[in-house]
Chain A
Amino acid sequence: MKRFIGFVRKEFYHIFRDKRSLFILFGMPIAQILLFGFAITNEINNVDIAILDQANDVASKEIINKIAASKHFSIVDIIQQESSIESIFKKGKVKAVLQFENNFGNNLIKEKQANVQVLTDATDPNMASTISNYISSILKKYQQELNENISIDYQIIPQSRMVYNAELKSVYMFVPGVMTVILMLVSAMMTSISITREKEQGTMEILLVSPLKPFQVIIGKVFPYIFLSVINAVVIVLLSIFVFNVPVNGSLFLLGIESVLFIITSLALGILISTISATQQTAMMISLMGLMLPTILLSGFIFPISSMPLPLQVISNIIPAKWFIIIVKGIMLKGIGIGFVLKETLILLLMTLLFIGVSVKKYKIRLE
């Protein structure tokens, strides 16, 4: 035990004396969560749009007023002819143009049908479709208000309600993702680098020749990272609760246990990486390319898995982060208990055992 404490103390010296690892450990999580929370968002606010009102009647004015009143849009230009639409898009500032046909109001009342054209700048397709959805919903709302006075039989009015994240806040999405990425980064990359550093320096050899057993060396090396990762997880959860008002509907205790499990999964991956790489550089490259990229792209953090092509959906199953994100979202946003994430938990557990098993085997082969 005394040896273990000495070993862990040494490990902390390494961490706290290396500015680079300190930054990755503590700067990164905070920077990432703030970035994702504030800057990178799927919501649209104050998008510049232009209006081409060829009708200029009561109905069109009412709709324009509604759009102007919405915080999502600001009307920056009223154009007079169709020919200026293209030039206004080319300037790049205006993201959408709303065009009312001639006699819009008349048509609406007499023909019971009138046309509005929503033109969006689809150089940014996500943005374009979001804008178009927002405008359509404003139009639909106007239509419903008109219909309140006139009775039409058999009308279906869908009432959709977003559950768990009623305001569709993207920060709700990002917190579980960022937490996953950070824990993965700290646990897997940092441990694999710190173990390979010992190999590079030649101190690993000295440790192996000492009476310390290999597993004691490895546990001594990963223990500080378990500790620091737990602190990181706590910081992320606190930031998301107090800065972004993300609720934790489920049990904090369960969230903690699951986080520790995921931390151990990542550490096991880190150890595995360190057994196959001889230098810190290799360890870092493998961690970044082999772990970080799939974790960010294929885990469902940014891109929904259900809309990926089938082969990628299959691959996503072997990414531990995918399961952890499901667990975290479940616990934080839906407030579910262990019963609902049992499958995911078991998968993570199995993966962890597998990684540890493979590392032990690789390690033995290397010693031979």
Chain B
Amino acid sequence: MMKDNNVIQVENLSKLFGDFAAVNQISFQVKAGEIFGFLGANGAGKTTAMKMLIGISSPTSGKATVAGFDVYKETESIKKNIGYMSQKFALYDDLTVKENITFFGGIYGLSKKQIDQKRCELVEELGLQEVTNSLVASLPLGWKQKLAFSVSLLHEPKIVFLDEPTGGVDPITRRQFWEMIYKAAHNGTTIFVTTHYMDEAEYCDRVSIMVNGKIEALDTPKKLKEHYKTDTMNDVFLKLARG
């Protein structure tokens, strides 16, 4: 694995809304195969930053490449190489599990054969055999979340962006979900995850903490805790957020 290869490279990236800098000159790199935690309080600018990286919002200034493609000019190529899962675990409630998989596989240009194969793997892995033909609406939240994550990985993206992927699910499901994340990372997928559960920050290889549009800290959880002389990431976060 090319550990030193940066799949996300961000330099002085900013996004202004009028005079307000939602994202203020942030710089960081994410290495291939890494689990990168992107932390920040609500309104700190992490969603805006993420939107620029996934190609649905164009930056005001600065430089950034994702999977080697420029966020200004090559958003189409970026989109082909990334997966995305939002905090709403957005799947179609009125479609069955099978139909959702077919649809999302289809829009990423997978062939019918590839889709069928992926679907079988995925259904078996998640233990969804009983419910493949049930509407997603009837699934418990935890299952939807896992399914949404697997769907975002269908086209084997280089990087997957997870926007608060564990909102509203119970601790056990969250734990299981992180096991899936580890597995994906182990298979070489880079994980870029935003969260505000600080215990989850401990699971990341490196975390960045955003406060008021700026990245105030970026390191491994262990080093951050040492540096701020605390026992938990929660305390690190509170120290930073309170200034």
State the A residues within 8 Å of B (CB). 2-3, 6-7, 9-10, 13-14, 17-18, 201-203, 205-213, 367-368
- Shortest CB-to-CB span from A190 to chain B, Å, is 15
Question: Is the CB–CB distance between B88 and A6 below 8 Å?
Answer: no
- Shortest CB-to-CB span from A13 to chain B, Å, is 6
- Report if B57 contacts A (CB, 8 A): yes
Within 8 A of A (CB), among B40-82: 54-58, 76, 79-80, 82
Closest to A220 in B: B107
Question: Is the CB–CB distance between B90 and A203 below 8 Å?
Answer: yes
Chain B residues near A2 (CB-CB < 8 A): 106, 109
Name the contact of B99 in the complex, choosing from A13, A209, A367 (C-beta under 8 A): A13
- Report if B95 contacts A (CB, 8 A): yes
Question: Is the CB–CB distance between B84 and A206 below 8 Å?
Answer: yes
Interface residue SS majority, chain A: helix
Provide the bound-state CA to CA distance between A17 and B136, in Å: 13
Provide the bound-state CA to CA distance between A107 and B64, in Å: 102
Question: Is the CB–CB distance between B107 and A209 below 8 Å?
Answer: no
Provide the bound-state CA to CA distance between A213 and B76, in Å: 8
Counting chain A CB atoms within 10 Å of each CB, the highest count among B54, B94, B102, B108 belongs to B94
Number of residues of chain B lying within 8 A (CB) of chain A: 30
Question: Is the CB–CB distance between A10 and B84 below 8 Å?
Answer: no
Question: Is the CB–CB distance between B79 and A18 below 8 Å?
Answer: no
- Shortest CB-to-CB span from B82 to chain A, Å, is 7
Chain A residues near B109 (CB-CB < 8 A): 2-3, 211
Chain A to chain B contacts (Cβ below 8 Å), 14 pairs: A3-B107, A6-B107, A7-B106, A201-B88, A201-B90, A201-B92, A201-B93, A205-B90, A209-B56, A210-B79, A210-B108, A211-B76, A211-B80, A367-B57
Question: Is the CB–CB distance between B106 and A6 below 8 Å?
Answer: yes
- Shortest CB-to-CB span from A17 to chain B, Å, is 5
Closest to A207 in B: B107
Known: A202-B89, A207-B107, A368-B57; 8 extra A-B contacts, CB below 8 A, are A3-B106, A6-B103, A10-B99, A18-B94, A205-B56, A206-B90, A211-B79, A211-B109
Question: Is the CB–CB distance between B76 and A14 below 8 Å?
Answer: no
**A211-B79, A367-B57 known; A7 vs B88 contact (CB < 8 Å):** no
- Shortest CB-to-CB span from B149 to chain A, Å, is 12
Counting chain B CB atoms within 10 Å of each CB, the highest count among A7, A14, A205 belongs to A205
**A211-B79, A212-B107 known; A10 vs B92 contact (CB < 8 Å):** yes
Provide the bound-state CA to CA distance between A202 and B151, in Å: 15
Provide the bound-state CA to CA distance between A13 and B137, in Å: 14
Question: Is the CB–CB distance between A209 and B94 below 8 Å?
Answer: no
Provide the bound-state CA to CA distance between A368 and B55, in Å: 10
Chain A residues near B54 (CB-CB < 8 A): 209
**A13-B99, A203-B92 known; A208 vs B107 contact (CB < 8 Å):** no
Give the top 6 A-B pairs by smallest Cβ distance, nearest first.
A202-B88, A6-B106, A202-B90, A209-B84, A203-B90, A17-B94
Provide the bound-state CA to CA distance between A14 and B135, in Å: 12
Chain B residues near A367 (CB-CB < 8 A): 56-57
Provide the bound-state CA to CA distance between A202 and B165, in Å: 13
Provide the bound-state CA to CA distance between A3 and B102, in Å: 11
- Report if B91 contacts A (CB, 8 A): yes
Chain B residues near A201 (CB-CB < 8 A): 88, 90, 92-93
Question: Is the CB–CB distance between B82 and A14 below 8 Å?
Answer: no
Chain A residues near B57 (CB-CB < 8 A): 367-368
Provide the bound-state CA to CA distance between A202 and B136, in Å: 15
Question: Is the CB–CB distance between A14 and B94 below 8 Å?
Answer: yes
Provide the bound-state CA to CA distance between A206 and B157, in Å: 14
- Report if B86 contacts A (CB, 8 A): yes
Chain B residues near A208 (CB-CB < 8 A): 56
Chain B residues near A207 (CB-CB < 8 A): 107
Question: Is the CB–CB distance between B86 and A205 below 8 Å?
Answer: yes
Question: Is the CB–CB distance between A211 and B56 below 8 Å?
Answer: no
**A209-B54, A211-B76, A368-B58 known; A7 vs B107 contact (CB < 8 Å):** yes
- Shortest CB-to-CB span from A92 to chain B, Å, is 51
Chain A residues near B99 (CB-CB < 8 A): 10, 13
Chain A residues near B90 (CB-CB < 8 A): 201-203, 205-206
Name the contact of B91 in the complex, choosing from A203, A209, A368 (C-beta under 8 A): A203
Closest to B152 in A: A206
Provide the bound-state CA to CA distance between A201 and B80, in Å: 22
Closest to B55 in A: A209
Provide the bound-state CA to CA distance between A323 and B95, in Å: 39
**A6-B107, A205-B56 known; A13 vs B82 contact (CB < 8 Å):** no
- Shortest CB-to-CB span from B72 to chain A, Å, is 13
Within 8 A of A (CB), among B194-216: none
Closest to B91 in A: A203
